[in-house]
Amino acid sequence: MKTTDKYLFQALDNYPYWLEGTIESLDYAFSYDDKNTMVLCLYGRIQAEQLMNYEEAKSYFQQALAINIHALEVYPHYLQTLILNEDYDEAQKLIDFALTIKGINKSEIFIKKAILLEAQSEFKKALKDIKNAKLHSLQFNYESDISDVEKRIECKMDLMKKKKGKKDKKSKKISKKKSK
């Protein structure tokens, strides 16, 4: 095992529970191999998930993909960052590309696509991608993630129906008052 891997494993083991230890291990791993895509990805995750510094996170993810376009571990985290940063067009382009990469977890990418559509209030389209995620799921542990996203989108659809129903009732009351 390479020294870089030893420190990378320590960083992964520490994250997200001990951030100081994570950073220390990442710095050591980076000093041994500054082109390790997993190290860059974890730096990006820390920037996005802990510091909410999405632009800095994007920079780390872009560096990792510039080194290796097939760094499969980067795509889900990069997509989540783009969605949170409201870079929707960029996220859609990355999704389209990621789905062409051999070996990528397509189910996970379809979940991100559904989340992107959810963020844009395209709930019906999002549910179609949930279906695609289910069809492409090959790992049991992703099924609960898929179900959670599906439930959240369905709840939002229900909220929108209720909101629309209240508006319809209000407009009927207003039109009745005006007609009197």
Per-residue model confidence as pLDDT tens digits over 81-93? 999 999 999 999 9
Count of CB atoms within 10 A of residue 125's CB?
16
Give the model's confidence band at 15: pLDDT under 50 very low, under 70 low, under 90 confident, else very high: very high
Mean pLDDT (whole number) for 4-29: 97
CATH for 3-179? Answer: 1.25.40.10
Share of the chain above pLDDT 70, in %: 92
Does residue 180 surpass a pLDDT of 60?
no
Mean pLDDT (whole number) for 132-139: 90
Does residue 41 surpass a pLDDT of 90?
yes
Does residue 136 surpass a pLDDT of 60?
yes
DSSP assignment of 80-129 equals: HHHHHTT-HHHHHHHHHHHTTSTT--HHHHHHHHHHHHHHTT-HHHHHHH
Query: Mean pLDDT, the chain, as a whole number?
Result: 92
pTM as predicted: 0.89
Does residue 167 surpass a pLDDT of 60?
yes
Counting beta carbons within 10 angstroms of the beta carbon of residue 101, is it exposed (0 to 12), middle (13 to 18) or buried (19 or more)?
middle
Mean pLDDT (whole number) for 3-24: 96
User: Which residues have a Cβ under 8 Å from the Cβ of 160 and sit 6 or more positions away?
Assistant: 121, 123
Render pLDDT for 50-107 as a digit per residue (tens, 0 to 9).
999 999 999 999 999 999 999 999 999 999 999 999 999 999 999 999 999 999 999 9
For the chain, strand residue ranges (E) read none
